[in-house]
Amino acid sequence: MAEGETDEEYLDRRDAQYERLLSYEPTTIADYAHQPDHGFWGDREFERKFQEEHSKRAGNYLIAYPKVARLLRRGVVRCPTRGCFLADVFLFPLEPSGERTLALTNLTRGESRTSWVNWEYSDNWHVAPIYLPASCRHGSARLPLGWFEEIVATVEGWKHVLHTHEEVYARLPEELRRGKASRTFHPPAALWRPK
Ligand SMILES: [Zn+2]
């Protein structure tokens, strides 16, 4: 809080900043993934809500522009029973360099959920979401955000500098190894709850 500011003034200022940042229309794809310096670092409620809405804006953009979505998509998650769509994982370019991963899941009731996977928080333990729910009429799963990052690493062939690709590949969990070529993945068996 700024000096001499009442709680109410603080919340008003916070709301105004939230509205201002989210009403800004990105002009490039990299803009969609850019994490602005919002000035409310340490306010967990603000950080959580801001990331959620910020990722939703990027998800809506991809839903509106399927051609861009195809370019940015790195993997699809499907249900193990009938192959229903459960989630997409995208890689957005960042300026001047780097990438940001976006996970988008589908729920039976026609909703979708989004989250940036690699997003900065003041306190990862208490603010960062750890999973996104996904479901179809055959079952449901809570998909860990870290797992989406592993999908991207698998598809992109990212590896630790000390390991060869073969070593990394041999060590991958079964469900990631199988999905690598087709870029289609199934939730880890331990997480899938059939109906
Ligand atoms: Zn299904």
Contacts of 36 (CB under 8 A, 6+ apart): 21
State residue 162's pLDDT score.
63
Decide if 66 contacts 173 (C-beta within 8 A).
no
Distance CA 77, CA 85 (A): 6
What the block records as the tokens of 90 is 């995208």
Residue 114 domain flag: yes
What the block records as the tokens of 164 is 């060869």
Q: Report how far ligand 1's centroid is from the alpha carbon of 138 (Å).
A: 4
Residue 2 domain flag: no
State residue 29's pLDDT score.
93
- Residue range of the domain that includes 35: 7-194
Q: Report how far ligand 1's centroid is from the alpha carbon of 102 (Å).
A: 22
Q: Report how far ligand 1's centroid is from the alpha carbon of 84 (Å).
A: 4
Q: Report how far ligand 1's centroid is from the alpha carbon of 183 (Å).
A: 18
Residue 170 domain flag: yes
> Does position 159 have pLDDT exceeding 70, yes or no?
no
Q: Are strands 184-185 and 73-78 parallel, antiparallel or unpaired?
A: parallel
Task: Domain count for the chain, please give it.
Answer: 1
Residue 74 domain flag: yes
State residue 105's pLDDT score.
98
Q: Report how far ligand 1's centroid is from the alpha carbon of 22 (Å).
A: 34
Q: Report how far ligand 1's centroid is from the alpha carbon of 106 (Å).
A: 11
Mean pLDDT of all residues in 17-45: 94
State the Cα torsion 165-171-176-179 to the nearest 10°. 50
Q: Report how far ligand 1's centroid is from the alpha carbon of 140 (Å).
A: 9
Residue 61 domain flag: yes
Count the neighbouring beta carbons within 10 Å of the beta carbon of residue 52: 14
Residue 1 domain flag: no
pLDDT tens digits along 60-102: 999 999 999 999 999 999 999 999 999 999 999 999 999 999 9
Burial readout 124-147 (b: 16 or more C-beta within 10 A, e: otherwise): eeebbbebbebbbebbbbebbbeb
Q: Report how far ligand 1's centroid is from the alpha carbon of 128 (Å).
A: 28
**SS3 label, residue 115:** strand
